[in-house]
Amino acid sequence: MPRAAATDERGGAVAASLRGLLDDPSIPSGVRDAMAADFRRIESMLDRLERDELHVAVFGRVSAGKSALGNALLGREAFTVGVLHGTTTEADAARLDEAANAGLVLIDTPGINELGGEAREKLAFEVAEVSDLIVFVADGDLTRDERDALRTLATTRRPLLVALNKVDRYSDDERDGLLERLRQHTATLVRREDVIAVAAQPSSRSVVELDASGHERLSSERRPPDVTALKSRLLAIAEREGKTLSAINAGLFAGRLTDQISERVAATRREVASGVIRQYCVAKAVAVALNPVPVADLLLAGGLDAAMVVQLGRVYGLPLTRSESGKLVATISVQLAALMGAVWGMQLVASALKGLSGGVSVVVTAAAQGALGWYATVLIGRAAEHYLIAGKSWGEHGAKRAVADIVAGLDRDSILREAREEILRRLHR
Ligand SMILES: Nc1nc2c(ncn2[C@@H]2O[C@H](COP(=O)(O)OP(=O)(O)O)[C@@H](O)[C@H]2O)c(=O)[nH]1
Ligand SMILES: [Mg+2]
């Protein structure tokens, strides 16, 4: 079946935007590695769309027979049966196993009973995310944990089937009674006809044979699995919903992951940018404190600020030339100077001096001026950051409004306090 054009386009766009993020030199390697794993996951989902496959996850309690059922559906021994997963108490140890045969991809899961509620939910979402359809395996009536898990799975909007496994252990009447109870207990979550009895790996039967000489011999006979009803139901759903299921799921998943990655990248950039701004704050503050200049000149001593803005441009992947960055600093400074004159004036100087009592008055004044220099650098840095984040733009309200918003949004007094402390520490050295 050809991949839908829209999906193709979307997949291509997702892949391209992710590659762009991965190649971004401003992303620290730790984040890049984490993203690479996400990216591989998305790529494999996009790949799946090209193939004609149905991804079926098998979910349920440990020992319900999930692995055995996976094998029976695939018609081969793909998963290990009967092995206890001792480490499933750790949610992140919950690994998903995958095997394919004739377009059917089975995803085996570690089982839910050793997991706490939260981990169980996480596993359920993880499983749902990589599957088109979920088969919930039980070997009797549902426990409370099983019902909780089933409810969580139902919220993921994947088609949900319940397989009552190990029916070889029951008489026909018992089996029908159990099926009926299961159907009632899952009535709001699963359709009646999607609760199906199976025997994934019936236990061997002892048979008595007569050999050639008429002696009785006891041997055990393996019985074949019986999963035909479940399999044809799966295929019917696959037929009905076709590739739309996996296309929609892959698209949603990729989109969500891209959003998450973009957020992580944005957060990392902000963090790196904050570090850059702080470095320049210290440099500026110390320079000013050691060589006090009139307050009005603070904003015009822009050499350091321009260098900072060049660095910020790199952090945000939007390189600025030295002259572009000088112009940007000038634009911001003009707005800041206007605000300072109009709004704060002496109040700002008073704030800068606040808390600086006693000592040599020259040091006090120096620290106050240094703090102002620091504060100005924070404002310039934040304003430049704002401009860069918006893709080198001040937005529809222009630079004046943007700078005023930044000034209003920052806690001036706590910035000045931090600055004074840092400067005094350095001056006393
Ligand atoms: N009697 C019977 N035993 C089964 C059936 N399916 C699985 N088992 C047994 O149940 C145990 C657990 O099976 P397994 O597939 O490993 O369970 P999982 O932990 O859910 O993957 C194994 O000993 C299987 O042989 C079945 O249909 N009938
Ligand atoms: Mg298993």
What digits encode the pLDDT tens for the residues 381-414? 999 999 999 999 999 999 999 999 999 999 989 9
Looking at 237-241, 318-322, 391-395, which range is the least confident one?
237-241
Measure the N-to-C terminal CA separation of the chain; round to a whole number of Å: 73
Given a cut of 60, whether residue 32 has pLDDT beyond it is yes
Query: Which residue has its alpha carbon closest to ligand 1 atom 9?
Result: 65
Residue span of the structural domain in which 165 resides: 5-260
Cα–Cα distance for residue pair 84/57, rounded to 1 Å: 19
Q: How far is the CA of 154 from the centre of ligand 1 (A)?
A: 24
Q: Range with the lowest mean pLDDT among 1-5, 290-294, 325-329, 399-403?
A: 1-5
* Same domain (yes/no): 236, 344: no
Which ligand gives the minimal distance to the CA of 163? 1
Residues 99, 176 share a domain = yes
Assign 221 a pLDDT band (cuts: 50, 70, 90).
Answer: confident
Residues 252 and 316 in one domain: no
Residues with CB under 6 A from ligand 1: 62-68, 81-82, 111, 165-166, 168-169, 199-203
Please give the pLDDT value at position 91: 35
Q: pLDDT tens digits, residue range 186-201?
A: 999 999 999 999 999 9
Do residue 17 and residue 128 come from a single domain? yes
CATH number at residue 230: 3.40.50.300
- Are 340 and 248 part of one and the same domain? no
Is a pLDDT exceeding 80 seen at residue 143?
yes
**pLDDT for res 193:** 94
Indicate whether 360 and 328 sit together in one domain. Answer: yes
Cα–Cα distance measured from residue 234 to residue 248, given in angstroms and rounded to the nearest whole number: 18
Residues 6+ apart with CB under 8 A from 394: 387, 401, 402
d(CA 246, CA 406): 45
Which ligand ends up closest to the CA of 71?
1
Q: How far apart are CA 215 and CA 202, in angstroms?
A: 28
281 falls in which pLDDT band (50, 70, 90)? very high
> CB neighbours (10 Å) of residue 92?
10
CA of 111 to the centre of ligand 1 (A): 12
Residue 213 makes CB contacts below 8 A (sequence gap 6+) with none
Give me the long-range contacts of 120-126 (CB less than 8 A, separation at least 24): 120/145, 120/148, 120/149, 120/152, 121/152, 122/91, 122/94, 123/91, 123/94, 124/59, 124/149, 124/152, 124/153, 124/156, 125/152, 125/156, 126/94, 126/96
Q: Are residues 160 and 35 in the same domain?
A: yes
Q: What is the whole-number distance in angstroms between the Cα of residue 228 and the centre of ligand 1? A: 17
pLDDT of res. 343: 47
**Candidate ranges 299-308, 355-364, 410-419; pick with highest mean pLDDT:** 410-419
Higher-pLDDT residue of 369 and 283 is 283
Determine the pLDDT at residue 94.
42
Residue where a domain stops, chosen among 260, 291, 324: 260
CA distance 260 to 18: 11
Structural domains in the chain (count): 2
Q: Do the Cβ atoms of 348 and 340 come closer than 8 Å?
A: yes
Of 65-79, 100-114, 245-259, 381-395, the one with minimum mean pLDDT is 245-259
Residue 418 reports pLDDT greater than 70: yes
The environment of the single-atom ion ligand 2, i.e. residues with CB closer than 5 A, is 66-67
Q: What's the 261 CA to ligand 2 centre distance in angstroms?
A: 32
CB 161 within 8 A of CB 195: yes
Distances (CA, A) of 101 to 50, 55, 203, 407: 16, 11, 25, 62
Q: Tell which atom from ligand 1 comes closest to the C-alpha of 165.
A: 27
| pLDDT at residue 103 greater than cutoff 90 | no
| Residue 195 contacts residue 167 (beta carbons within 8 Å) | no
**Closest ligand to Cα 95:** 2
What does the pLDDT read at residue 123? Answer: 80
> Rounded to 5 degrees, what angle do the CA atoms 421, 423, 429 make?
105
Question: What is the structure's pLDDT at 300?
Answer: 47
Claim to verify: residue 129 and residue 160 sit in the same structural domain? yes
DSSP secondary structure letters along 215-257: -EEEEEE----B-HHHHHHHHHHHHHHHHHHHHHHHHHHHHHH
User: Relative to the CA of 169, which ligand 1 atom is closest?
Assistant: 1
Instruction: Say if residue 32 is in the same domain as residue 125.
Output: yes
